Amino acid sequence: MAPGTVFALLGTSFFCRTVFVSIDQRSSEAPPTPPPPPAGNPPSRTAWLVLIVVVMADVMDLIDSSIATLAGPSIHADLGGGQVTVQWVLSAYTAAFALGLVTSGRLGDVLGRRRLFLLGMTGFTLTSLACGLAPDPLFLIVARTLQGLCGSVMIPQGLALVKVVFPAQHLRKALTPVGPLMGLTMVGGPILAGWLLHLDLFGSQWRSIFLINVPLGVLAGALAWRVLPRRGGEDPTARLDLTGVGLLTAASALLIVPLIQGRELGWPAWTYAMMAASVVLLGAFVVSQRRSRHPVITPSLFRKRSFVVGLLIVAGFYASLSAFVLVINLLLQQGLHWTPLHTGLTLIPWALGTAVAVLLAGAVLAEKLGRATLHLGLAVAVVGLLSLWWSVAHFAAGITVWNLAPALLLTGFGSGLVFVPLVDFIIGDATPEEVGTGAGLLNAVQQFAGAMGVAALGTLFFARVGHPSPTSYLSAAELVFATAAALNFLTLLLVGLLPRHAQQAHG
């Protein structure tokens, strides 16, 4: 969000909630230095300014994630680089963000949260500028990778600092407006992207979607320098397992690169070798974590059924979601030649359905229905994706906004019902010592699954497109929507392995 990634697009509204829960629990391990304000004191003016800085960072991440997806076809048309350019622009950011999230919380304990937040904010602003000035696809992909890393460093530190400056009994109240604000940003992101691309300010074309972060970043960075506390609840005993970080990073890169490049290059032998090496390094990572005194991921988490099953559901759900977002944009803009503004307005039912369902699940359904909320959400998402498949097949090149609106509304509403209860189930089974790592890993899996969805199903999409034409784009979109529906159905079957209510996961 991190600057979180399209895949943070929908995750950010509850990402804040997840990480704050983890921080609140981790405070029982090592008291922050300095301690939080006395419980009886109201929040200070500085505390509210710290919250504003953190929200600005989250909004920058969310805007950058959502609007980059809509601008993908425009980037490809301007810079060229082959069909995989769009996949790389999205996957490079989200994969880097995911990998950084696994270690950034621990890194904040080691190096200091204020220092890392300022470093991440500065880096995110500079890499946004670099993205906006990119002269070619390779430069843009490298800048997006660095942007994802900077975002993953920035976001967790800011949230931890908020925990330090707010009295405990005022923290939840202070965070109440954050979820709706992120939901509003999520709804407005595609519209903003379409509007910026339509205006083509100063002939900037797609570049304005990245350059918009620069003034926001300068303002947020200057405010952060003045108001962030010098101490942010660091754990002086924390250490970073560099071996584990290196193995996990290498394993992830060896998997994503061949999935994105393999189809375009004809799947040469080295692509299979890289994927096999990824599996080997992942196994080496697991072994190293068992022997490490300061593991990147707490091994005991993987002995908890709700945590493991929950991560599998997250992986399938977010891979499907990311592929849907990518393909609907490619279909409408490259296949049917709709303008970015037209496309952004078309996606409003999906964004609104998601935002309403997230609020409904968080306020009522998750607590009352428990596991049934996940069943309902995934079932509605499957129906929505199949309805989208039918609409594309039935109306073909004559499809309109109104033909797509019901299916998009259903898809968004079903997805929105999944977010909040899924987080409750995964984190609910973790002990206070495990919950910090668990929350970080949850968000990392969200981002990495999004990158994998773009890589794998994006490759499936472009393989079906072949020689580009409206007909081939429609056929490819049908295939991906049907595949995404099947993936959601498989995750629906896994939900039965969870307890009926998240509270039961607490034991």
272 shares its domain with 323: no
What is the rounded average pLDDT of the residues 218-222? 92
Q: What's the domain count of the chain?
A: 2
Domain end (from 293, 319, 336): 293
% of residues, the chain, pLDDT over 70: 77
**394: number of Cβ within 10 Å:** 10
228 shares its domain with 268: no
Domain region containing 255: 241-293
**Is 452 or 324 the better-scoring residue by pLDDT?**
324
Q: Phi and psi of 2, rounded to 5°?
A: 15, 155
207 shares its domain with 123: yes
94 shares its domain with 183: yes
What is the rounded average pLDDT of the residues 185-193? 65
Residue 67 to residues 279, 466, 503: CA-CA distances in angstroms?
33, 26, 37
108 shares its domain with 173: yes
What is the rounded average pLDDT of the residues 386-399? 91
Q: Amino acid letter at 207?
A: R
Average pLDDT, the chain: 78
345-356: burial string, b at 16+ Cβ within 10 Å, e else: bbbbbbbbbbbb
Alpha carbons 185 and 59: distance in angstroms, whole number? 7
| Residue among 396, 300, 410 at smallest CA distance from 352 | 410
Q: CB of 210 within 8 A of CB of 132?
A: yes
380 half-sphere exposure, CB direction, 13 A CA radius: 22
The CATH number for 105's domain is 1.20.1250.20
Threshold 0.85, pTM exceeds:
no
What is the rounded average pLDDT of the residues 371-382? 91
171-180, 336-345, 423-432: which has the highest mean pLDDT? Answer: 336-345
364 shares its domain with 446: yes
Alpha carbons 379 and 14: distance in angstroms, whole number? 21
Predicted local confidence at residue 24, as pLDDT:
37
Domain end (from 293, 308, 330): 293
Of the pLDDT bands very low, low, confident and very high (cuts 50, 70, 90), residue 26 is very low
248 shares its domain with 375: no
254 shares its domain with 112: no
438 shares its domain with 468: yes
489 shares its domain with 460: yes
Q: What is the pLDDT of residues 139-161, one digit of tens each?
A: 999 999 999 899 888 887 876 78
Alpha carbons 437 and 295: distance in angstroms, whole number? 10
Is the previous residue joined to 31 through a cis bond, with omega within 30 degrees of 0? no
% of residues, the chain, pLDDT over 90: 20
286 shares its domain with 211: no
254 half-sphere exposure, CB direction, 13 A CA radius: 18
Domain end (from 293, 323, 354): 293
171 shares its domain with 247: no
Q: CB of 347 within 8 A of CB of 328?
A: yes
Predicted local confidence at residue 405, as pLDDT:
94
Q: CB of 67 within 8 A of CB of 189?
A: yes
Q: What is the pLDDT of residues 88-108, one digit of tens each?
A: 887 788 778 877 877 776 777
Residue 391 to residues 11, 372, 384: CA-CA distances in angstroms?
27, 28, 10
119's CB contacts (< 8 A; 6+ apart) are: 150, 153, 154
Alpha carbons 150 and 57: distance in angstroms, whole number? 11
**378: number of Cβ within 10 Å:** 27
Q: What is the pLDDT of residues 255-289, one digit of tens each?
A: 877 877 776 677 888 888 998 999 999 889 888 87
